[in-house]
Structures are given as C-alpha cells and as structure tokens.
Amino acid sequence: MYKSELKTPAVLVDLDILEANIARYQALCDKHHKQLWPMTKTHKSIELTLMQHNSGATGFLCGTLDECEAICRAGVKNIMYAYPVAGSVSIKRVIELAKACDFILRLDCFDSVPALNDAAQAAGVNINYTVIIDTGLHRFGMAPNQAAPFVRQMSKMNHLTFKGISTHPGHVYGGGKPEDVVACAADERNLMAEAKHYLAEAGFACEIVSSGSTPTFAGSVDDPVITIFHPGNYVFFDAIQMSLGTATVADCSLSVLATVISRSALDRLVIDAGAKCLGLDQGAHGQGMLKGFGYIKDHPELELYSLSEEVGKIHIRPGFPLKVGDRVEIIPNHACSSANLTSCFMGCRGDMVERAIRVDIRGNSSLSPALCAGDQRSGSGGDDKKPPLIK
C-alpha cells in the first residue's frame, strides 16, 4: 500500500529514520561503555521495545506500572520504574514485578516505605531501589547532600536494597535555546557526581548511577559517573527537540498525515487532524520557542495555529498552492503525546506502507481484555500465561 492510500488522519513512523535513531543512540552508549535503558513511555509499544532490546538495550525505564508489567510479560529482565509508589494496590503490583524480573523502584521520601517493606517481607522478596536526585526539574527527588541520610534511614528496612541514584534532567525542556541544553547537561553530570560523592563518604556505594533525557544525552553520554542512560524521545524526535537543536527534520521519524478538507477563508485551510492526534502541547515545563501545534513538512512557513478535537486550522497567504484534497505531514510538537493518542503507527519506507505497529501498552490497567469484551468473570490485568517474546 502507498501512503497516499491511507485513511487520514494517520500516525506515520518512517522505519528507516526510526531504525537509524535507535542504532545511533545505542552506538554512542556502546562507544562510551554505558548501558542504554530507554524510556518506554515515548512509544508504549512492545514491538518498538523489542527493536530497542535487539539493538542492544540491556534494560528499560517505564513511566507506568502497566508498561513495567507488559514488557515483563514480553521477557524483559531489567526493568526500572521511574516514580515512587503508594497505596496497597500499587505496592502489590510492585511485589509481583519483583518476583518476576530484576525490578528497580525509585524513591525520594520515606512516607510509603514502611508499607512497602512490610509487603515485601510478607511476600518473601527484596525490592531494589534507587534514590531520586533533583538535578533541576524540582518535581521528584532530593538535593545531593540529602541522599546519604535518606539511605541511612532506609537501611533499617530489611527487604529494601539500595542500588544507587537516578535522575531526570527534565528542566532542559524549559530552555529556549541550545545553550540551555548544555547548561542542563552540566547540572545533570555535576549534581549526580556530588550525590555519589556524599554517599561514598557515608559508606554507601552506588552500583547504578542512572539519568537521561534526549536533549542532554549527547552532552552527558561520556560522563565518568553516569552508568545508565534513559532517553526516550530519541526514537521519534519532534518539534520540541528541533527547537532545542537536538534534532532536525531529517531525524524526526513520527508524523501525522492529514487531509485538507476545507478552505473556508482565503487565508485559512482546515485539516482533518486535531488535538486528538497532535495534542495541545506547546512546550513542556515552560518552553516557549514553538510556533503553533506542529511543524508542517515541506511547508515550514505555514503555521498550524489552532486545534479543535478533530480538526486543525492552518494560516496561509492568498494564492498558496495547497488546496482541498491535498495531504500534509505534520511533525508534532511532542511525539510522545501523539503516540499515546493512537492505537497503531503506520510503519513506512519512502512512499510505501510496510506494516502497522501496535501501540499496545496504554489505557486503563484496571480493565482486563476479558472485562473490556464483556466477560465479568475475570479481574486480572491481562493474560499472564502468554509466553515471553524475548528468549
């Protein structure tokens, strides 16, 4: 099938670019003797997880417990969850993950720790954890000098095992220019080194020092302290990465294919892709360098200036050659959001559609496939008997 035969809107993935992005980041980690544990929340796809694994990724960072459970069922052995957990339901899921794989939890406060330790003790398992260090995002984490006292307090918990420290330098997305990326990478390196130093002085060795964001990756991958990197967006890239100087149009593998369906005014075109394909993100964490809601390939002078749920408006000048029935490809501002808004990517090479790639790690984990199909007898989170995909 040709791309021109696809129904619109459609979320496209250029497989040649995707494969090159995966190979490039893996090669940089291999060159500098680092482990690559990509963030799965970018694509939420088992197939793309397997592509990264087969390229050399030795573990994965997950943004939801759904993702952890799904890639565990697929056979992934090294899994880190990006956030703390609280409440009996989530703690029970963590216990089961700790039984099934080499699971690592991230922590930054003591409040839920006693319940976590009690559950682990009752189940007869140990739970590995890293301490979250705040390197500038001010979301999760603690200052470097607070890590050692926290681990000392945690050492009283006999079923929780300290593995090291982790961070996400997400404040890079609040930057407005490439120089800000350099500064954020310096924060990432320096503050993680500082935290490791304080811990070593207190007698706590870090087996793992993990960090990562796509923009800071190139500036930190040769760091002597960080051992594991967690970029996510690098598989797709997007208009935010372009604005930060991390990527060019040629690096962006994900786009939204849309059809011009109306020219309701001389200076306006309307397309059949809106917020439910492209998202309303105009820059995470305060980034304000973007124009509109996506980059229109081959027409960078045009602005996609408004989105409704199902349609978008493009400002054009009188006489511009685009017309009703024409198609456009749009690089989203934030590819992770567009990926989460679709059930499949259309994998393309050139003008040909090669295959559909399922986006199969999203949705409400409280509902099993059986319940969604109307079978009220089962309350499990999926088919746990499915054989592993990774051998």
Exposed, middle or buried: residue 385 (CB in 10 Å: 0-12, 13-18, 19+)?
A: exposed
pLDDT, tens digit only, all 391 positions of the chain: 999 999 999 999 999 999 999 999 999 999 999 999 999 999 999 999 999 999 999 999 999 999 999 999 999 999 999 999 999 999 999 999 999 999 999 999 999 999 999 999 999 999 999 999 999 999 999 999 999 999 999 999 999 999 999 999 989 888 777 889 999 999 999 999 999 999 999 999 999 999 999 999 999 999 999 999 999 999 999 999 999 999 999 999 999 999 999 998 989 999 999 999 999 887 665 556 788 999 999 999 999 999 999 999 999 988 899 999 999 999 999 999 999 999 999 999 999 999 999 999 987 665 555 555 554 433 434 444 555 677 6
Token representation of residue 124:
């007869």
Domains in the chain, ordered, with CATH? 15-236 (3.20.20.10), 249-357 (2.40.37.20)
Token representation of residue 9:
């809107």
Q: What is the pTM of this model?
A: 0.92
Q: Where is 191: in which H helix or E strand?
A: helix 178-201
Strands 294-296 and 327-332 turn out to be: antiparallel
- What does the alpha-carbon distance between residue 103 and residue 44 come to, in Å, rounded to a whole number? 19
Overall size of the chain counted in residues: 391
Exposed, middle or buried: residue 306 (CB in 10 Å: 0-12, 13-18, 19+)?
A: middle
- What does the alpha-carbon distance between residue 208 and residue 151 come to, in Å, rounded to a whole number? 14
